[in-house]
């Protein structure tokens, strides 16, 4: 029986890690990967899509023998704004350009033009990156939030496998999962968002922030599942709640989040 529990926990850990990585890598704040070729030679770099308001956003591209200058073109986003540009300068083994600081939740759309001997060799103008700024979040708030949310996903998945296989005490693990979800999503989550964007909650009923709303949906399903399991075992309720949690937390992280409206000078959500 012990080895079956070990296998169950390992499978849950692998599934949770996979969902977490997928969520992060498909989110709008994960660096944009650029892979191209110049004169048959591969050129690869990443364009950042997340920055803080306490410093200019640094864009860096490795030095390449077929690139002797880079132009960084940017403009406020969204909206019909004029574009500005700057020439990236060499710093050690990279070419660096610094985008101007924007307000919390403010965004800039930008792309690069790579030149060699005066000729443009590549541009990602049609696949431009969008960087979003946020205020600095203290580690005492961010680390517990991230850890608790990961733990909630892990425990929820363990409870799912226990309920299906009838191995272990699924109700006890389910209570742990709900506790981790409440701490990570409804205690430290709003704290993190308040520090980052000045608003603690932007989901229903005050906004359409997808991260807040999916946390709310997960909370509702898990509270209902545990209420149904108070006096009688109802494995199906935990199975549904766990599947819902795994599904919604596989949705790209930070999608439809807070966004600064440069024209109205206000922060909107659901973008």
Q: Which domains does the chain have, with CATH numbers?
A: 2-27+138-268 (no CATH), 32-134 (2.60.40.10)
**Low-confidence winner among 4-8, 201-205, 251-255 (lowest mean pLDDT):** 251-255
Phi and psi at 235, nearest 5°, equal -60, -35
Please write down the long-range contacts of 262-269, taking CB distance under 8 Å and 24 or more positions apart. 262/76, 262/79, 262/81, 262/106, 263/79, 267/104, 267/105, 267/197, 267/198, 267/199, 269/199, 269/202, 269/207, 269/208, 269/209
Q: Considering the chain, what is the average pLDDT of its residues?
A: 92
DSSP strand pairing (84-87 vs 94-99)? unpaired
Integer Cα distance of 60 and 45 in angstroms: 8
Q: Are 85 and 100 in contact (CB under 8 A)?
A: no
Residue 254 reports pLDDT greater than 90: no
Share of the chain above pLDDT 90, in %: 75
- Whether the per-residue pLDDT at 210 is higher than 90: the answer is no
* 105 has pLDDT over 60: yes
Mean pLDDT to the nearest integer, 105-130: 95
The alpha-carbon radius of gyration of the chain (Å, integer) is 22
Q: CA of 136: how far to CAs of 3, 243, 266, in Å?
A: 44, 33, 19
Residue whose entry in the numeric block shows the structure tokens 């959500």: 269
pLDDT tens profile 167-203? 999 999 999 999 999 999 999 999 999 999 998 998 8
Which region among 113-117, 150-154, 157-161, 256-260 has the lowest average model confidence (pLDDT)? 256-260
* CA–CA separation, 129 and 111 (whole Å): 6
pLDDT of 45-77, one tens digit each?
Answer: 999 999 999 999 999 999 998 898 999 999 999
Structure tokens given for 107: 């965004």
pLDDT confidence bin for 224, thresholds 50/70/90: very high
Which candidate, 191, 193, 172, places its Cα nearest to that of 183?
191
Residue 92's Cβ-count burial label (10 Å; 0-12, 13-18, 19+) is exposed
Q: Parallel, antiparallel, or unpaired: how do β-strands 50-52 and 129-134 relate?
A: parallel
- Residue 246 has phi, psi (to 5 degrees) of -65, -40
Strand partners, 77: 107
Residue 205: burial class (beta carbons within 10 Å; 0-12, 13-18, 19+)? exposed
Instruction: Provide the β-strand partners of residue 62.
Output: 94
3-state secondary structure of 161: helix
């Amino acid at each position: 029986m012990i080895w079956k529990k070990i296998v169950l926990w390992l499978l849950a850990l692998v599934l949770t890690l996979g969902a977490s990585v997928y969520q992060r890598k498909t989110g709008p704040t994960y660096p944009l990967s650029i892979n191209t070729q110049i004169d048959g030679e591969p050129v690869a770099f990443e364009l950042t899509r997340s920055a803080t308001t306490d410093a200019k956003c640094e864009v860096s591209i490795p030095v390449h023998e077929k690139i002797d200058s880079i132009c960084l073109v940017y403009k406020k986003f969204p909206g019909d704004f004029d574009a500005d540009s700057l020439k990236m300068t060499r710093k050690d083994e990279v070419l660096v350009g610094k985008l101007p600081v924007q307000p919390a939740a403010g965004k800039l759309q930008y792309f690069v033009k790579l030149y060699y001997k005066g000729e443009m060799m590549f541009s990602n103008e049609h696949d431009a990156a969008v960087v979003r700024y946020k205020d600095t979040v203290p580690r005492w708030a961010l680390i517990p939030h991230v850890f608790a949310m990961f733990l909630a996903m892990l425990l929820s998945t363990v409870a799912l496998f226990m309920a299906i296989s009838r191995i272990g005490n699924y109700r006890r693990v389910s209570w742990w999962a709900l506790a981790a979800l409440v701490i990570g999503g409804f205690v430290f989550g709003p704290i993190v968002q308040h520090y980052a964007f000045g608003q603690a909650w932007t989901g229903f009923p005050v906004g359409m922030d997808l991260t807040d709303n999916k946390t709310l949906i997960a909370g509702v399903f898990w509270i209902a599942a545990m209420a149904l399991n108070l006096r009688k075992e109802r494995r199906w309720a935990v199975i549904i709640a766990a599947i819902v949690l795994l599904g919604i937390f596989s949705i790209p992280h930070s999608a439809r989040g807070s966004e600064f409206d440069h024209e109205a000078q206000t922060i909107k959500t659901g973008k």
